[in-house]
């Protein structure tokens, strides 16, 4: 019943070079081929695959149960092990059907494979409106000479409880495992690690291996010698003096490969990476050289898809905020910096050569995207609506008297708009007299700051042509604020912005390449991310939601949104709002709050899925130092105490910045566990 979509002659001209014989899936993994996959599950199996809610910090330590299932690949049936996978990609889609999956062909039938493939990742293209970012990003890494997973496309369907449904377009990604290593290095042996939370690529946790096991997630059982090697590597990076580091780093690390790996990460503006988030990469200890090799993973947010600020002009000199010990020390070595900059120049050139492949992959993907479920499951995905905007039910009105918060109401100009043309049309909908021009007074107050930027000839009116130029210059929402709150509430801020980045990848390729070369030639400085993951660069969404993923901004905004007390509430309003909030959370009216009650209350305001509630709830509970429950009176007293200490200028009010900075002081640091 399933058929393989044929390749066109154009595709054959732009596809990757022929794969070597003996590679698993040598004909299967072609970037412009669209396979068909069908999953068959009972409702009971589907329900049993869902992970239990994590007891640690947020969604980052999910464990996914595996079930026995039937999978049909291009018309051939297999009995396999099937489970969900992912962190943000799962949490963003956990209320819908289009979730990410992992297939293990070898689990139920030993020795079984599909064209030599024993494990296959079905990525749901979370937060990527183009749905081809991952395919093109891996291509850049490969063309730069880095062993990287191969990809292909698939139209995926599911029979669930006897009912057949379409899941739409998926990107199928090769598993990094012993087969992958053997293809590229001639051996599948050696310690393979999948770190989570190892910011900068390597963290020193002392000399006890047990402290590394969870965060570094070894695939298999490393030998004592391999364990000691990783610890020695971490210790060298974090504790050795400069002379010792420069003398010995070449014996621990494949520095040539790491220079390319770092360059590819920087050139593609991939913010969801080892530098900032400390994940989405593998480390392998090559037994032939006894050196560590870094391998890419999970590139669906490349090309500015993750909010790191100005992705087009992201700094090549320092493409990350704060300290990254390994990279900082390597870039201080002239020979390494030269190799890195040479690779950056190569990557910039390669990016300009992606257009033909882009067009072919997009052409293959477009008809299948029409089969995507209309409701992808909600959460923190591309262009999704923001939070409710109202604070806890029953909370007081905002200081500004009932406005919907920072974000515009539905239909106004938010970063969630699917394309530039629609964003222009949304703005022109405010043209009250129908003359085809916008005047500043016609726009809502929160959108008026955009007017002066769009009025290129300063004639106090904006035409469609000016709007089109303005939207094009800003990109279709990269890193900008998303659509604001879904309804008018009691003064809470609008929802957080989507993370989808620009739709126009070819324009991004040209602009990013030009910026990289200008930086390397000393003609441009580049933008270093600030404040953790960096404030957003401000897409056309502008006043929509917070532009980037700056922790203080996100926490402060979310915390005040919970209260519904406005952008800068008085301490009195803040305390009253949290009193009502505690009463709202106390569902059984026993004058105490449990962890579950607090989390449910926060999620009810900020929304479920992968978003602020998933981070703020567990951290807030940890900061309260409560065990099973906390008295409502104690909770509200703590909020009041925090509020006074956060009012740094003693004006009796709390700003987003003050609340965010205060929360960073009282909340414990996040613990990003495993889950992939």
Mind listing the pLDDT tens digit for each residue in 317-338?
A: 999 888 899 999 999 999 999 9
Q: Bridge-partner residues for 166, per DSSP?
A: 157
The confidence score (pLDDT) of residue 462 equals: 87
Q: What pLDDT does 59 receive?
A: 38
Look at residue 155 in the predicted model and tell me its pLDDT. Answer: 99
**DSSP-based three-state secondary structure for 650:** coil
- Report pLDDT for 422: 53
Residue 586 contacts residue 593 (beta carbons within 8 Å): yes
Please give the DSSP secondary-structure letter assigned to residue 503: S
State yes or no: pLDDT of 498 exceeds 50.
no
Question: Given this model, what pLDDT does residue 1 score?
Answer: 40
Q: What strand order describes the sheet that includes 192-193?
A: 192-193, 281-286, 291-296
Name the DSSP letter for residue 649.
T
Q: How do beta strands 592-594 and 163-174 pair?
A: unpaired
Please, which pLDDT band fits residue 141 given cuts at 50, 70 and 90? very high
Which of 3-7, 154-158, 179-183, 542-546 has the least mean pLDDT?
542-546
30 against 559, higher pLDDT: 30
Ramachandran angles phi, psi of 101, nearest 5°: -130, 160
Q: Is the pLDDT score of 445 beyond 60?
A: no
Res 487: pLDDT: 31
Q: Is the pLDDT of residue 631 over 50?
A: yes
pLDDT at residue number 518: 98
C-alpha to C-alpha distance for 83 and 48, rounded to whole angstroms: 10
Q: Give residue 392's pLDDT.
A: 54
Compute the distance between CA of residue 167 and CA of residue 155 in angstroms, rounded to an integer: 8
Tens of pLDDT along 88-132? Answer: 788 778 878 999 999 999 999 999 999 999 999 999 998 888 999
Mean pLDDT for the stretch of residues 591-604? 82
Q: In this predicted structure, which of 20-34, 53-67, 305-319, 496-510 has the lowest mean pLDDT?
A: 53-67
Q: What is the per-residue pLDDT for 133? A: 97
Of 194 and 606, the one with more pLDDT: 194
Query: Which pLDDT score is estimated for 389?
Result: 40
> Band of the pLDDT at 391, cuts 50, 70, 90?
low
CA–CA dist 181, 482 (Å, integer)? 40
- Over residues 565-592, the mean pLDDT reads 85
Residue with tokens 């300290």: 323
Predicted pLDDT of residue 123: 98
pLDDT exceeds cutoff 60 at 672: no
Answer yes or no: is pLDDT of 49 > 50.
yes
Q: DSSP assignment, residue 606?
A: H
pLDDT at 173 over 90: yes
Please determine, for residue 368, whether its predicted confidence score (pLDDT) is greater than 90: yes
pLDDT at 60: 46
pLDDT (0 to 100) of residue 433:
65
At 383 the pLDDT is: 32
Q: How confident is the model at residue 605 (pLDDT cuts 50, 70, 90)?
A: low
* Predicted local confidence at residue 530, as pLDDT: 63
What percent of the chain has a predicted confidence (pLDDT) above 90?
50
What confidence tier does 27 reach under pLDDT thresholds 50, 70, 90?
very high
Under the banding of pLDDT at 50, 70 and 90, the label for residue 26 is confident
User: What is the β-pairing status of strands 151-160 and 34-41?
Assistant: parallel
| pLDDT given at position 423 | 66
Alpha carbon distance 240, 237 (integer Å) = 6
Beta pairing partners, 163: 160
What's the pLDDT score for residue 474? 55
Structural domains of the chain in order of their starting residue, each with its CATH number: 34-180 (no CATH), 185-366 (no CATH), 422-470 (1.10.238), 551-666 (1.10.238)
Q: Confirm if 375 and 96 have CB atoms less than 8 A apart.
A: yes
pLDDT-derived band at 626 (thresholds 50, 70, 90) equals: confident
Three-class SS string for 358-406? HHHHHHHHHHHHCCCCCCCCCCCCCCCCCCCCCCCCCCCCCCCCCCCCC
136-140, 290-294, 455-459, 555-559: the lowest-pLDDT one: 555-559
CA 534 to chain centre: 14
Would you put residue 290 in left (φ > 0), alpha (ψ -120 to 50) or beta? Answer: left
Q: What is the pLDDT of residues 474-484, one digit of tens each?
A: 543 333 333 33
CA 353 to chain centre: 26
Q: Is 208 exposed, middle or buried (0-12, 13-18, 19+ CB in 10 A)?
A: exposed
Query: What is the spatial distance between Cα 602 and Cα 55, in angstroms, rounded to a whole number?
Result: 16
pLDDT value at residue 195: 92
Q: What's the CA gap between 454 and 581, in Å, rounded?
A: 41
User: pTM of whole model > 0.75?
Assistant: no
Exposure of 547 in the CB half-sphere (CA atoms within 13 A) = 23
The label of the residue with tokens 């004639």 reads 459
E strands, 441-572, in order: 462-463
Residue 486 has pLDDT above 50, yes or no: no
**Span 201-229, average pLDDT:** 94
Nearest CA-CA partner of 539 in 508, 580, 518:
508
Of the given ranges (267-281, 359-373, 592-606), which has the lowest mean pLDDT?
A: 592-606
Band (444; pLDDT cuts 50, 70, 90)? low
Summarised one tens digit per residue, pLDDT across range 300-320 is 999 988 767 789 999 999 998
pLDDT averaged over every residue in the chain: 79
**Any residues with CB less than 8 A from the CB of 661 and at least 6 apart, and which?**
552, 556, 646, 648
pLDDT above 90 (res 390): no
What confidence score (pLDDT) does residue 496 get? 33
């Amino acid at each position: 019943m399933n058929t393989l979509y044929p390749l066109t002659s154009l595709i054959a001209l732009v596809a990757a070079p022929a794969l070597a014989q003996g590679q698993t899936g040598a004909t299967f993994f072609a970037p412009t081929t669209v396979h068909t996959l069908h999953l068959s599950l009972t409702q009971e199996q589907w329900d049993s695959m869902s992970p239990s809610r994590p007891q640690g910090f947020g969604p980052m330590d999910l464990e996914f149960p595996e079930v026995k299932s039937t999978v049909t690949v291009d018309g051939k049936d297999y009995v396999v092990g099937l489970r969900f996978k992912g962190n943000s990609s799962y949490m963003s889609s956990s209320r819908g059907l289009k979730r990410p999956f992992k297939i293990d062909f070898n689990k139920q039938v030993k020795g079984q494979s599909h064209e030599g493939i024993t494990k296959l990742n079905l990525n749901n293209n979370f937060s990527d409106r183009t749905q081809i970012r991952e395919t093109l990003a891996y291509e850049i890494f490969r063309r730069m000479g880095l062993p990287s997973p191969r990809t292909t496309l698939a139209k995926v369907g599911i029979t669930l409880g006897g009912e057949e449904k379409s899941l739409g377009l998926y990107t199928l990604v090769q598993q990094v495992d012993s087969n992958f290593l053997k293809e590229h290095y001639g051996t599948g042996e050696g310690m393979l690690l999948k770190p989570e939370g190892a910011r900068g690529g390597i963290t020193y946790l002392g000399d006890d291996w047990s402290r590394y096991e969870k965060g570094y997630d070894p695939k298999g059982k490393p030998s004592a010698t391999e364990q000691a090697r990783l610890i020695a590597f971490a210790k060298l990076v974090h504790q050795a003096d400069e002379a010792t580091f420069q003398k010995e780093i070449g014996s621990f690390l494949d520095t040539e490969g790491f220079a390319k790996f770092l360059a590819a990460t920087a050139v593609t503006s991939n913010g969801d990476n080892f530098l900032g988030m400390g994940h989405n990469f593998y480390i392998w200890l090559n037994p032939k050289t006894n050196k560590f090799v870094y391998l890419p993973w999970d590139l669906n947010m490349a090309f500015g898809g993750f909010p790191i600020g100005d992705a087009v002009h992201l700094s090549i000199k320092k493409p990350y905020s704060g300290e990254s010990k390994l990279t900082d020390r390597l870039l201080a070595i002239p020979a390494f910096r030269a190799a890195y900059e040479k690779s950056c120049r190569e990557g910039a050139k390669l990016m300009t050569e992606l257009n033909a492949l882009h067009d072919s992959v997009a052409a293959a993907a477009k008809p299948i995207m029409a089969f995507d479920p209309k409701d992808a499951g909600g959460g923190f995905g591309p262009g999704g609506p923001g939070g409710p905007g109202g604070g806890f039910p029953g909370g007081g009105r905002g200081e500004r008297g009932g406005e919907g918060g920072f974000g515009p109401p539905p239909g106004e100009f938010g970063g969630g708009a699917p394309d530039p043309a629609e964003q222009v049309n949304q703005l022109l909908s405010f043209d009250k007299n129908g003359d085809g021009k916008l005047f500043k007074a016609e726009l809502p107050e929160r959108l008026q700051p955009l007017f002066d930027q769009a009025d290129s000839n300063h004639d106090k009116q904006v035409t469609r042509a000016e709007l089109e130029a303005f939207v094009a210059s800003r990109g279709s929402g990269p890193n900008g604020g998303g659509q604001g709150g879904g309804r008018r509430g009691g003064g809470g801020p609008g929802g957080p912005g989507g993370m989808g980045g620009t739709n126009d990848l070819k324009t991004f390729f040209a602009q990013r390449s030009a910026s990289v070369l200008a930086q390397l030639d000393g003609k441009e400085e580049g933008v270093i991310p600030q404040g953790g993951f960096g404030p957003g660069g401000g897409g056309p969404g502008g006043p929509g939601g917070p532009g980037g993923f700056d922790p203080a901004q996100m926490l402060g905004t979310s915390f005040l949104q919970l209260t519904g007390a406005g952008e800068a509430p008085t301490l009195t309003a803040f305390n009253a709002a949290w009193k009502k909030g505690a009463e709202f959370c106390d569902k059984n009216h026993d004058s105490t709050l449990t962890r579950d009650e607090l989390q449910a209350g926060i999620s009810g305001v900020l929304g479920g899925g992968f978003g602020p509630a998933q981070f703020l709830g567990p951290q807030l509970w940890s900061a309260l130092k409560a065990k099973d429950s906390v008295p409502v009176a104690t909770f509200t007293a703590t909020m009041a105490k925090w509020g006074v200490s956060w009012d740094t200028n003693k004006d009796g009010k709390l700003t987003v910045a003050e609340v965010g900075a205060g929360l960073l002081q009282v909340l414990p640091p996040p613990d990003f566990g495993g889950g992939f």
